[in-house]
Structure 1
């Protein structure tokens, strides 16, 4: 694996940390629904029907719908993987910039309200968070790397267990382990802020995505270098 690929993987781990933090904040502060774990939200939607809990149904359903919208937006912006893609395609940064803008909107509203919003306000902020993670989830798929995900981590855990059971060396499961640890660590940090300092909790999410955007600039080929590479190939 190249040095650039290793750096890309570390940035994706940072995005998984953002997923964990955003999910924890959604569960603790924004109505008790997930913002990236749509399997969990589908279960919550079913449970809400059994319990007759309209509020839970509304929150879980809103999160699912907004995540789907975010996925569609992310795919439109980032596109699909191509054989000639660089390690970090510029389209991914474009999609993550939109995610960052959505998180800025949510953070501004939350912090202006002093971390205390009405039920309707919490539902709106949950919707923004779910949309942001939908964008993140589909844009990461542009890498076209199997197992590289920041939201579908049940599959990552399954892959890790299967590889360890098959006797694969630790280096073959290192990335999967880091993604899972990133998710858990993000949930721990997000949960801690949500309980101890809720007003500043969104800063963790902004820091994660903002750092990824800044660092990815060093992995994204400039127009000049891309043109030079094309000239070398055609020449």
Structure 2
């Protein structure tokens, strides 16, 4: 039987790679959802390019689906998704999972009030404790495994600015992660005000690892309740 469910296109955040979605994809598969995961070129052992390159990678994945798509963006992934999905009729809905839902002319740094560096041709150092920032509700073993998978991230993506954000023309849901220590709750709430709908999950920055079944159920509810 051919599935009538849209494909969920999963877009990872900074320092991460597509494999970070493996637990969530298994749960979504059990619910009958086809999934694809984008490999953003600005993250990886050979990190390269900037926001336009990530947006192009997303557009290519959307085109490859060949049918209706709901895009799920995590953290930094929200920025290239907003840039990529504008004007694509096959994209039915956008989900910003504790993600940057930026407006016209905004960059990650400008949203945080951080001045652009003189030189953007390099990598973003991973400052602080990634265990605390990304994986606060994972077991020690799972957090250590996740940290071992972190990769290089291009700095340029922090200063590249969104042109025409897709959420201005495509319905969107913002999923607030209430225990997130990477993107503080007040900033999530500020961006959530831009979304068509807002949901919440009691998790740290990475519920696809710590609460995959709960997140899959929430995504299913978002998809099936769209008016």
Q: Same fold (TM over 0.5)?
A: no
The structure whose Rg is larger is: 1
Structure with the larger RCO, 1 or 2 (CA within 8 Å, 6+ apart): 1
TM value normalised by structure 1: 0.28
**Structure number having the greater strand percentage:** 2
Higher helix share: 1
